[in-house]
Amino acid sequence: MSLMNYTGKTLRELVADARSKGIAIGHFNISNLEGLHGTFNAAKELNVPVIIGVSEGEREFVGVHEAAALVKELRETHNFPIFLNADHTYSFEKVKEAIDAGFDAVIFDGAKGEMDDNIRETKRCVEYARGVGRDVLVEAELGFIGQSSRINDAVPEGVEVTTVEDAVKFVTGTGIDLFAPAVGNIHGLLRDGPKPPLQPQRVREISEATGLPLVLHGASGYETDVVRACIKAGVAIVHVNTEIRVAFHDAVKDALTAHPDEVAPYKLMKPAVDAIQAVVKEKLQMFNFL
């Protein structure tokens, strides 16, 4: 994918800018056009860069090449800094597929396995990305934070917090561009109460020890103050998915209930676009300190 008409900064430059300003770029997952348009509308309204994420499951539904074409089209037609990331990818083959399709960034997620296996496979992804002739950012994860963007009954089993020592070993051993440690965060929301607390102090320690921009996953449901404390401490990208899924679900349910005889999808789905836009706007204001 070329950046034919897009004349702005690269994602790598924008991440560096975010760090130097002490703000973060929002990363929002999509499964459909409603998600893409809602997210893009919000970013355009506030005039801030944005990253669209598609996980393996979301890519299977949207189409790997379709996702790349849609984001490329928005970026070039609007000359707007919207980028595409292959969120949580569990094999080198799927990382390669996303890079070959033109994604701007990929996440290899080997956090559930042994650290040495995680380092080896992450390194393989980094080496592949470096050889494709354009700048692709590679992110990797260390420390399990649960896998699914959903409403959980309890904190997923095996959740941990990444130590500074492990973080340094992992970053040095892989050569990644972006690092996602476990810092109290978990994916998804909890049905009956607040999520475990985020640990901005650990963010700061890992940021200082590794020197890399950090990525905060699973940011649905956290208060502004603690998210902003993590951003100031070293987070350059913040992921939100579950709150967008809930907004979509509720808007579609309400539209179907309110208009039982309406069958035009574009009429039924318009409230969902607006609902996603509202959530994304609020998060972008939070992350960009607006």
Q: Which residues bind Zn ion (CB under 5 A)?
A: 217
Smaller CB separation from Zn ion, 72 or 187: 187
Smaller CB separation from Zn ion, 176 or 273: 176
Quote the least distance from Cβ 216 to Zn ion, whole Å: 9
Quote the least distance from Cβ 222 to Zn ion, whole Å: 14
For residue 217, which of 203, 104, 208, 100 has the smallest C-alpha distance?
A: 203
Residue 44 to residue 250: CA distance in whole angstroms:
24
Residue 244 to residue 252: CA distance in whole angstroms:
12
Smaller CB separation from Zn ion, 195 or 217: 217
Quote the least distance from Cβ 54 to Zn ion, whole Å: 12
Which residue in the list 17, 87, 116, 254 is annotated as catalytic?
87
Residue least distant from Zn ion (Cβ): 217
Q: Is 116 a catalytic residue?
A: no
Smaller CB separation from Zn ion, 185 or 269: 185
∠ CA(186), CA(188), CA(190), 5° rounding? 90
Quote the least distance from Cβ 275 to Zn ion, whole Å: 22
CA-based radius of gyration for the chain: 18
Residue 33 to residue 104: CA distance in whole angstroms:
19
Active site residues: 87
